[in-house]
Structures are given as structure tokens and as C-alpha cells.
Amino acid sequence: MPPPPASMASTKLRLTPNQQSVLWVALALAAYVGTMWWFVPGARSYFSCLLDHTITLLAGCGATVVLGLIEKHILRKPLSPKWEVVILGCFIFFAGFQAWKDQRVRAENAETKVRTAQFPDPVIRKALGSLVDDGLAIQTGWLKQMEKRETKAQFLSADKVRPWHSKVETYLKTIPNGDSYLRRFRIAPSGVGSWPFGIMYDLGGTYNQLVSDLNRIGEFISDPNLGRP
């Protein structure tokens, strides 16, 4: 088989000593990072933090290049040791500031989680309070009708209890641990003692349901675990 033409042989990739050094350094760095990534606990978190500060790292590299250009083309001499110490101090200070900032953000996030765990979600509590207000409005109107012995009007008030009860159930399904609250809410109501004077006997069970639901929602609002996942 004849040898390849000289033109093809001349196109073979040849690296200079400096290029070979850079290649070996890159391979060694890749092996080092890969080893840490797979075998060193916490290394992935470390590299994730580095990625979060990519812009800062690039800015530091750019600042180093700019300083080199200033030495070479403007000052035409190396920086004095005093300036080198000052620049190094600035880099160390900024690195410390970045570390302090990360720790502060983590501490604030942890504090927020603790507050969320200790206190019920104010949004949920406010929504439940609004539902209580609607139930109390039904009860208040019904009691006024009892005082006036308004028979037909009492039936209208009783008819409002079931839709209101269903509205509460629908909302409970949307909150954390809603299934647990829903089961507690659906427990058969206990008696409320003597019924208000003037109530129609046939509507006593519905009135019990209303009072029981209001009491149950009050328990939910005061529950310290309300809003926890």
C-alpha cells in the first residue's frame, strides 16, 4: 500500500508543548471534578454553589486579566507587593461577603419555615373565618324568624344550611391535609342541648348540623397544625 501524500501527513494534528500542558491540566481537572462528584459526600452541593456564583467567578477571572494587561501595557512593570496584597485582600473580602450572604439567605429561609410550621396559615384561617361569618349570618337570620314564629321563612333558612355545608367541604379539600379535616367535619353532629324557642320540630336536625359545623370550623381555626403539609 503506497504511503499517504505529503499534504495529508502535514495536516495531522500537532500540539505545541504549551497546548499539551493545557490539555493535561484540563483532563486532570475533569478527572478531579468527576471523582469528587461521584464519590465525595457533599461535593455536588459544593459545585452547585459554584454554579450559583458563575458570574462572580467570571468577573474575578476578568479582573485578573485586566490587571495583567495593565501591568504589561500601561505600567510596563509588575505591581508592587503592597498593591498585590491590597488586591488579594479585596478578593478575600468579597469571597467572605459571598459566603456570609449565602448563610444569611439560608438562615432567613430556615426561619421562614419555622414560622410557617409554628403558626397556622393566615390565608386559610381568614378563609375559614369568612365561612364562619356566612354560617353565623344564616343562624342569626334563622333565630330572628324563630322569635317571630315565621314558619315558611324558617324553611328558607334551613335550606341555606346544606349549600353552605357543601361550600365548606369544597374548601377543606383544597388545604393541606384537607382529607383529614374533611373527615372530622363530616362527623355526625351531636345534640346542642335544648333548641331555641320557636324552632320548628322538623328542622331541629338541620339546626344541629349548622351549630356543629360552626363549632368544628372554630376547632380548625385554633388548630396549631393548620396549614402544615
Q: Where are the domains of the chain?
A: 21-118, 122-221
Whether the model clears a pTM of 0.75, i.e. scores above it, the answer is: no
Measured between alpha carbons, how far is 214 from 229 in angstroms, rounded to an integer? 24
Query: pLDDT tens for residues 162-220?
Result: 999 999 999 999 998 889 999 999 886 665 567 788 888 888 889 889 999 999 999 99
Dihedral sign, CA of 186, 192, 196, 197? positive
Torsion of CA 46, 48, 50, 52, to 10 degrees: -140
* pLDDT surpassing 80 at residue 12: no
Q: Is-contact 175 229, C-beta < 8 A?
A: no
* pLDDT surpassing 70 at residue 4: no
Query: pLDDT tens for residues 114-171?
Result: 665 555 678 899 999 999 999 999 999 998 888 888 888 888 889 999 999 999 999 9
Q: Is-contact 168 217, C-beta < 8 A?
A: yes
